[in-house]
Structure 1
Amino acid sequence: MKPSRAAAVVLGVALIGAPAVSWSAGPAKPTEADWRVPAADDVMVIDTNKGRVIVELVPQVAPGHVARLRDLTRAGVYDGRTFFRVIDRFMAQTGDPKDTGDGGTDKPNLKAEFTFRRSAETPFVAAAAPAGLEVGLIGALPVVSQNWSWHEVTTDGKVSAWGTYCPGVVGMARDDDNNSANSQFFLMRQPYPSLDKRYTAFGRVISGLEVVRAIKTGEPVAAPQDRMEKVRMLSDIPPADRPKVRVIDTKGPWFAAEVARARGAKGADFSVCDVTVPVDIR
């Protein structure tokens, strides 16, 4: 398998490293009630030679891809894998057992999950409604959706939605066949919305974006040395060693105030990538 050489972009969430907590200057400091604790089975802890990166996976948008990442992580496939293709202001690609961009595992390739069906139960929080669409978040993942009013005329009572490629968003690499993703994935360094609905987005870096942006660039990287030294699911780390992770609850009042502040500051130029999602790692 030869993953696509197409570029990817990341949209801006204020992603912060442990143990600091950050919030924007507008709304008041978050209270204890404004935080949520992500499911430990949906959090990947990636220890690289440049530092730790923590990713929250979002099974609601791409269940097959999230299940594959969990399986490969637990099988140790990602331990020691290099970042072999890294483009500044775009993304860092890894996850190839050959470390060349031409490899994959013996598992069957994945069916594309470029879009998903959003229902009334989907935990989507709208931030704006431009031109018949809605933009917002599911957890920390930025999402674009058909306007909810369209559910009244669809056969399943749902609307189409998809992850949008803001900074930190995690996507799956593939070749020219839409259904050819296997093990390789990329972490966005900057935003690149032209990847939307062309590559499956299924998670986001919630801590360590500065680490992703520090990885040596190259297409391919010459003699790549930056690598994922150890990759684990948070739920598999012994309790005594497990970092404590919490993220601002995007369904709460603090986040609603943050969205209002960002929209007021950006005006017509507002993007869901302008919304900060504070994280607390201890």
Structure 2
Amino acid sequence: MKLVSKLSWLTAGFCWICQVNAAEVAAKVAVNEVWLDLPQSELVYLQLEHGTVVFKLADQFAPRHTERFRQLVRAGFYQGLTFYRVIDQFVLQAGLPEDEKHPTLTNQNWPGVKAEFSWPVKAADRYTLVQKPEMFAAETGFNQGFAVGRDSGQEWLLSCPLTVNLARDTNADSGTTDFALMRGQAPRHLDQNMSVFAKVVWGAELLNGVNYGPAQTGGIIADVKARSKIVSATLGSDLPESARLALQWQDTSSPAFIDALAQRRARGNEFFKHKGNGALDICYSQVPVRLKP
């Protein structure tokens, strides 16, 4: 990340200033770091006109939706389609508007997917508590790299920035093909109302280059030529090895990640004059991702 100002760390989701002069802390943390390889079969490479964005599929939480997304990707459904509804600091929605024809495919028979809003908590899952109580849930935490809420024995994926859900109408089971990517302020009012099935793990900065729609049309971009295009979407396991990114993310149950959460909660760096009340917004704590050394 290039620091363009003293406050540019604000765009990163956690405190970069706290890390600037902390070589000795970094060395200590590195001992406790655990990095997990992201399987290529769980990655989708979304090739935009200006670069590549990578999704990590949440198979363990939304298997019906990840199965559908794989089917669409392998059918070439998204190739040549566009982001047709884009609202600044909220959502980037892509796919095929109802009144438009697919540029290459004739099969439009994609039935709705049964909603996967929540599921019973699994005691065996590697879960890291972040906040209890929390504004929109009894508690929040990380489960295998994904931000989740929990209440009354149920669990769900949170609508944090960079999560991906299947667009739908008022029918909970009406999502078919189009996806919505969350941006900006966390739209937590969507928790347990949308089926989240993936999150962006690479190339998030490229989303800033997607063309926005006018506010007066609710973000809808009527002119197809004015929309940003998806060149292709491909499963990592279907790409030649030379085209794959060897991505890893930090184990959210590891000592290093848990310590980082504690540091953010305490605002222990001398930069912070107001230390807050000890609460921590889980959507502010993105999981670190890197290329495998």
TM-score (norm 2): 0.78
Alignment of 1:55-204 (within 5 A): 55-96=55-96, 105-130=108-133, 133-146=138-151, 159-190=153-184, 191-204=186-199
Residue 156 of structure 1 corresponds to none
Q: Quickly say closer, same or farther: Cα 1:63–1:180, change in 2 above 3 A.
A: same
Map 1:231-270; keep pairs closer than 5 Å.
231-265=233-267, 267-270=277-280
Q: Distance in 2 between matches of 1:99 and 1:238?
A: 36
Stretches of 4+ moved more than 3 A in 1? 12-15, 29-33, 97-102, 266-269
The structure 1 residue matched to 2:281, chosen from 257, 265, 271, is 271
Aligned residues: 254
| Unpaired runs of at least 5, structure 1 | 1-11, 16-21, 151-158
Partner of 1:84, secondary structure, is strand
Q: 1:73 to 1:264 in 2, by over 3 A?
A: same
> Residues 110, 165 of structure 1: CA spacing in aligned structure 2 closer, same or farther, 3 A cutoff?
same
**Residues 167-212 of structure 1, C-alpha deviations (whole Å, 9 max, x = no match):** 1011110011111000111111121101111111111111122212
Task: Give the Cα separation in 1 of the matches to 2:132 and 2:61.
Answer: 20
**CA spacing shift, 1:30–1:105, aligned 2, 3 Å:** farther
Q: Secondary structure at the match of 2:237?
A: helix
Q: Distance in 1 between matches of 2:237 and 2:12?
A: 25
Q: What's the counterpart of residue 48 of structure 1?
A: 48
Contact 1:189 1:209 in 2 (8 A): no
CA separation in 2, counterparts of 1:92 and 1:54? 15
CA contact (8 A) 2:130 2:282 kept: yes
* Gap change, CA 1:126 and 1:231, over 3 Å in 2: same
Q: Cα RMSD (Å) of the superposition?
A: 2.8
Q: Which amino acid aligns with 2:158?
A: T
The structure with the largest alpha-carbon Rg is 2
Quote the Cα distance in structure 2 between the aligned partners of 1:192 and 1:173: 14
The CA distance in 2 between the partners of 1:251 and 1:100, in whole Å, is 45
Q: Does structure 1 retain, via aligned residues, the 8 Å contact 2:115–2:173?
A: yes
The structural deviation recorded for 1:78 is: 1.1
Q: Deviations over 1:15-37 (max 9, x none)?
A: 8xxxxxx9962762645952111
Relative to 1, partners in 2 of residues 1:101 and 1:273: Cα closer, same or farther, differing over 3 Å? farther
